[in-house]
Structure 1
């Protein structure tokens, strides 16, 4: 906490490592909140001292002018102080009311239902015509508005009447992780701090007509339809409050006590007010904001929410391993999941894709728009729109298949430098910077979207009938997607690459993708504007990787590192590097060896023997679903699985996300049932996949994870074009910086080891927990590999049993 406090005060970027169960969240909260409280008091004193007339006016001014100026300044200061006092009194009253309501469950609802005519046509469509534009002058009539959120079409919500407090912005990957952080906040002495949690419509909407749509794109569209209807008085959402008094009242309700997402939703239901927009109105006067990664990291989204990073403290929690598992998953291409950590989140947000369907849709809409308004468009609008159509044709042609393309059943991906791609398209004579500026300042995407929404009501209704997987949001303009891709073509060659993916079998799936290779450039604005940035996780090593990926431009003195060990005693953890099995067959799970039947059977005997001596739950991680399935089938045919099932019930991680929770519940129930008198089994065994649904965010604490087994070293697919390009990029950057080490291979190995660390971190979850970790592969005995395990595991000691009998003996002592 002292290190954090000093780092914030010194405007540092802090990299803080503290294993799960050591009180990381509470330490972050107490250290940063104390600084925020002290800073507010210090600022008030400094403001009062600065009101000295000598600092306001020159010494030559007459005394009466100085006195008047001082009185005016003091008056403003006292007025602001009085506002804060009244606000504090209001919050105390609301807090007392909320406490009483919780006691007697008499929650009163405020109804603002309004009946509005849901029909109505626009009589004129002049609003869709872009204004006169000239990029060669600085006197354009176009308003340079904040860009709408590219994902939802939201407009900024900023209440200028509220003071923008200095604040702590805490972000994490999932809503559940944010809720955990908020619940820790409630345990501290800072329960009076003004906090608000932000989330998606899917988690915060209370309108049943919207929620029943299930999928996020459909929910976003219906919400935006209803919001527009509310504004135009033609019907809309009954929960959307527009008057200032009720917005302020709801903000007071949120600030009276610390609330997580679920609490805010409940408050919205009680007061008949939209929690999603109500929380956004509460941002400026809040001292603490908690939110998911994507809201903070994407500039357009951040601005649409009205979040100002400048001068504030950004804490990014739960960011251990910095995207290694996500990249491992992506390069293996065996399953898809959302971005778990910071690097991958940044890479995903700024890696823009366009497929053939989107290009055709954008071209069709823009041609119809030009045909409709060509005679009414002024200035250079027609020229720019024709240039954009030319660019759309060029992009579409780059995906056309030829006789030289591969077999019809194959897909082909090629990676190109940005400049090479632009030259190949023969569009290097087009000023892409001007095109990007035009799209941004003319608001063509918004104008076009309004035009399409009006003219395509029938086709939009038909689109509602398609499945969720094929549903295209009508509030996300295809031109916005094109704008993002064209903007990426103006980036430096070193920043990223273009991935051209052609499919002869199904040309509609062919796509272009801008692959960001340098996430540091996208994260730089946050680092430079924030007062301090805190990156906190359980395992941050190797720090060198983190600095290279996110902060290569920062001077050494701006970076502050802190790491602490685990709070469990060494006797609570046993780590074994198992090189041979029960019949002395060596374990070498390299790709070319891992299908060896004899070694798979040896692995089965190893797992069966370990299950004999370990009570409770055992989690065994494999490199992929495919390899898990292969091993499982062989054990079924060889009766090895039956031998394991004699001791423990066996569960297998499902590929379907909606089945993961059910599997975990059954696994937990089986372990608890094994504790009963007369139980025939000692617990349960769960086969899981590294980088899958069970390797991140799941707590296998206590009896749920008395042992974690990792089979082999899960290196990602080295043949992935994107992985190869990333390795080449890192090697070239190292060469430019005068580093002669093989950074590319180091990066590849680190991806593997961080994925391992993610999995073995599932076991020890609190100070009284204990577990064994078994690393099955002879390569775990190598010093280079071992050095990349978490420090708290290395410090507790890693045992290299000379034979399998010694391994069982060590486990039996635990």
Structure 2
């Protein structure tokens, strides 16, 4: 039976769901910590709480999250269905109290049968989609052009320009868009009347191309987000292990539906959302974006351009008259669990756009996976028509959440970008001013005035620091920046301008017009020899005004939510940088928390949790939180963690910044590593606090010959300079370890890898089993306290209600320890894994730092003040493991 949306029935009137004592876990018996996590997550969702759960990598975190959230969703849908039936019965009774019960029940059955027919039609559509998918998978690689039998009309609209007014007609598409409200209502309609009109429009039924009502209800669902596409792809494979999805479409879709089988779960529909960069199948659009140097922004522009009248329409996007083709593509997405690569492959076979097909499938899905930026940015949610009202949001790898929010809402402008934007806007206004409505003309002049004010701010900054040596940074709040823009601009309302830019799509109009102008010049002058310069110019024309728009959006924030930092590029006074830095992530995250039924933050290392409570949820009562920190699934004897306070010559280890140039302490560190790697089989990973420290290690130890002595024991590898070399480095590292078993005694065995905390190898890469039998953490990787951005962030934390200087120190330490915890968590990846961890710095032994380690590490850590004890424990640890392995053979 078709079920109501989550908003159809007040959750306060629904009966409470009890916490399950068991879950449909894909393995016979979950670990105790897995069951505990599933129960905590289930309860948090049911009670509408914010859940913060920490489950070490290797403990089945993803499976536990999927099983608990989808179990709740399944029970909630059943509850809504029951409540809907009961409510309908009650309504029939109230409509005619004189009707006998059997009449009411008859009417109820008739109504439910009608609704069930809608669901059966949906099931039939998905069944057909699974059959098409079966055929298309079978035909993959066989040269079949139309895999699903879907034919898209490749209609091409003539974009030619006639001699008289063709150019002028094409230019009309660059005129700013008018708000429908402004055209219909005029500027003086009250806010209340506009809200009533919005409600009326929202209540109108949707109509399909045949004129029949087609109501796509927004089903209750889970929005599951993680940091990278790779992590989301792994989640899809984990989902296929559970009993929730219908993945075997060849057998399940052909079963004859009977009353008994109808009671079985019909399978969960998953939609993986991604960007155009991941999903676009139009090679012309992709090559245009690549060749013009505009990146993702250019790809978006090119896609939108090919949907306009007067342009060559994208051959993969069905027209409104071909709506049935897009609905078939939507059903294909919903029919079975697929990752983005599968959807793209099927989209290419069927010649239907995967980007828009996935967007159309969101409302009827039960789980939507998407990367951080698509969930956390309000503009992205609006573009994808994501409505979080009463839905469940799961944020995995949530230790990145605060930094990600601060990053995506921080914007950098340069004086050069501002100058480009001014030139574009002036050219645009000169061309269109006689065709613009008065409201557009006014707003464009206001935007131009604001940009000229920003240029004046840059010039004044340079003048103020000329002749004073190195140009320093200057920090302003929003109000101070607007005052400096001043002189006639103090009446400008950034909020009003941002609203106008959004309504009119001015940034896209200007960038499109700039490129159009260049294309016309190319045609006229046939400037083939200047194509490379034109490409660079195009990039600037596309990017400049979009960056300006993002910056103006920042000016809407409260003056206390962020700071504006003025600086020069490497002391070059010709280029001034204006950077908006967000300090208050809670304000940007608040809308998600307020709209969603429940938000679950999950990660392998969420400690220290105090940052999340303070920076993301400062005003939320403590009783709305539900927290859990799981222990590890490995037995205690499989992990040995020691704090190394001194070296073999009793030199004390404290790798403060001032000590990193000390040759004595560097030599002592080398002695520790040389001693330890002789005791550890297979792979050893050493994490250093910074790239400069890594360079210092290589330089010092190379000149002293120490590198050669390390290389005699294990094959040496260093974190590569470029991301493109990471995969080959890891492959060679693994090969050196696997081939080490064949090397004779006395020769080098295994490999030694030097990496950087927070670098390319510290997160998202597994050093399981022989790849990481020992992880060595050198020093505490504190962020550069001289950073202006960090200083402002610390001042902001100190200024929060109830906080002090101690609060900013706590945040500073937490940043460091979260990075440490991520790095050392790379070693233990499953229940049978084992490893030793060495923390080389006496500060790890202090209660303040030790208590910030994950509980599964910190509770059994040994603090060693003599190095022989460290070496003895490591030797004993691996001897016991060798003896145990021999006993199992």
| Aligned pairs for 1:407-422 within 5 A | 410-422=470-482
| Aligned pairs for 1:593-604 within 5 A | 593-604=659-670
1:709 and 2:790 are equivalent in the alignment? no
Displacement, 1:406? 5.8
| Aligned pairs for 1:728-807 within 5 A | 728-733=795-800, 736-737=801-802, 739-740=803-804, 742-795=806-859, 797-807=860-870
| Aligned pairs for 1:374-453 within 5 A | 374-400=433-459, 401-405=461-465, 410-426=470-486, 427-453=489-515
Larger mean Cα displacement after TM superposition, 400-409 or 622-631 = 400-409
| Aligned pairs for 1:80-91 within 5 A | 80-91=115-126
TM-score by length of 2: 0.81
Determine the structure 1 residue equivalent to 2:188: 137
Q: Distance in 1 between matches of 2:509 and 2:334?
A: 38
In 1, are the aligned partners of 2:89 and 2:104 still within 8 Å (CA)?
A: no
| Aligned pairs for 1:225-624 within 5 A | 225=302, 228-229=305-306, 231-232=308-309, 234-242=311-319, 243-319=322-398, 322=399, 341-400=400-459, 401-405=461-465, 410-426=470-486, 427-458=489-520, 465=532, 472=539, 478-503=544-569, 506-507=572-573, 509-624=575-690
Q: Distance in 2 between matches of 1:652 and 1:408?
A: 42
Determine the structure 2 residue equivalent to 1:116: 156
Displacement, 1:271? 2.0
Determine the structure 2 residue equivalent to 1:46: 83
Displacement, 1:347? 1.2
Change (3 A) 1:84 1:782: same
Change (3 A) 1:640 1:446: closer
Change (3 A) 1:129 1:607: closer
Q: Distance in 2 between matches of 1:501 and 1:408?
A: 14
Change (3 A) 1:492 1:224: closer
Change (3 A) 1:311 1:244: same
Displacement, 1:382? 3.0
Q: Distance in 1 between matches of 2:285 and 2:546?
A: 25
Q: Distance in 2 between matches of 1:129 and 1:258?
A: 41
1:195 and 2:276 are equivalent in the alignment? no
Question: 281, 298, 305: which one pairs with 1:206?
Answer: 281
Q: Distance in 1 between matches of 2:645 and 2:718?
A: 25
Q: Distance in 2 between matches of 1:135 and 1:484?
A: 28
Deviations 1:652-681 (A, max 9, x none): 101211111111111111111112253732
Q: Higher helix share goes to which structure?
A: 2
Deviations 1:383-408 (A, max 9, x none): 33322222111111111254542679
Question: 28, 37, 44: which one pairs with 1:7?
Answer: 44
In 2, are the aligned partners of 1:15 and 1:562 still within 8 Å (CA)?
A: yes
Q: Distance in 1 between matches of 2:541 and 2:153?
A: 27
| Aligned pairs for 1:58-69 within 5 A | none
**Which structure 2 segments of 5+ residues have no match?**
1-37, 199-212, 246-266, 878-889
| Aligned pairs for 1:615-654 within 5 A | 615-654=681-720
Change (3 A) 1:464 1:293: farther
Q: Distance in 2 between matches of 1:114 and 1:633?
A: 61
Displacement, 1:470? 8.4
Deviations 1:20-56 (A, max 9, x none): 1111111111111111111112111211111135478
Displacement, 1:371? 2.4
Displacement, 1:113? 6.5
Change (3 A) 1:670 1:82: same
Deviations 1:522-542 (A, max 9, x none): 011011101111101112122
Q: Distance in 2 between matches of 1:76 and 1:350?
A: 49
Deviations 1:163-185 (A, max 9, x none): 32111110101000001111100
Change (3 A) 1:209 1:383: closer
Change (3 A) 1:741 1:220: closer
In 2, are the aligned partners of 1:409 and 1:504 still within 8 Å (CA)?
A: no
Query: Partner of 2:532: helix, strand, or coil?
Result: coil
Q: Distance in 2 between matches of 1:177 and 1:189?
A: 21
Deviations 1:308-338 (A, max 9, x none): 111111100122xx3xxxxxxxxxxxxxxxx
Deviations 1:762-803 (A, max 9, x none): 1101111111111111111211111111100023x1112332
Change (3 A) 1:541 1:799: same
Q: Distance in 2 between matches of 1:740 and 1:627?
A: 32
Determine the structure 2 residue equivalent to 1:686: 753
Change (3 A) 1:553 1:424: same
Q: Distance in 1 between matches of 2:298 and 2:619?
A: 40
Larger mean Cα displacement after TM superposition, 120-129 or 82-91 = 120-129
Q: Distance in 1 between matches of 2:325 and 2:537?
A: 39
Determine the structure 2 residue equivalent to 1:27: 64
Q: Distance in 2 between matches of 1:11 and 1:349?
A: 27
Q: Distance in 2 between matches of 1:136 and 1:101?
A: 53
Change (3 A) 1:422 1:447: same
Q: Distance in 2 between matches of 1:468 and 1:595?
A: 46
Change (3 A) 1:534 1:90: same
Displacement, 1:499? 1.0
Task: Let me know the Cα RMSD of the aligned residues.
Answer: 3.3
TM-score by length of 1: 0.88
Displacement, 1:74? 7.0
Displacement, 1:241? 3.2
In 2, are the aligned partners of 1:586 and 1:778 still within 8 Å (CA)?
A: yes
Change (3 A) 1:705 1:610: same
Change (3 A) 1:467 1:528: farther
Deviations 1:407-434 (A, max 9, x none): 7984532111222222222243333333
Larger mean Cα displacement after TM superposition, 754-763 or 1-10 = 1-10
Q: Distance in 2 between matches of 1:350 and 1:253?
A: 35
Q: Distance in 2 between matches of 1:160 and 1:116?
A: 29
Is the radius of gyration larger for structure 1 or structure 2?
Answer: 2
Q: Distance in 2 between matches of 1:456 and 1:54?
A: 65
Q: Distance in 1 between matches of 2:861 and 2:535?
A: 49
In 2, are the aligned partners of 1:116 and 1:233 still within 8 Å (CA)?
A: no
Displacement, 1:237? 3.6
Query: Partner of 1:286: helix, strand, or coil?
Result: coil
Determine the structure 1 residue equivalent to 2:255: none
Change (3 A) 1:753 1:247: same
Change (3 A) 1:234 1:102: closer
Displacement, 1:728? 0.8
Determine the structure 1 residue equivalent to 2:791: 724
Q: Distance in 2 between matches of 1:623 and 1:135?
A: 60
Larger mean Cα displacement after TM superposition, 591-600 or 91-100 = 91-100
Deviations 1:448-496 (A, max 9, x none): 44443433435799997359998727655x4443343234323222211
In 1, are the aligned partners of 2:772 and 2:827 still within 8 Å (CA)?
A: yes
Q: Distance in 1 between matches of 2:827 and 2:533?
A: 43
Q: Distance in 1 between matches of 2:269 and 2:137?
A: 20
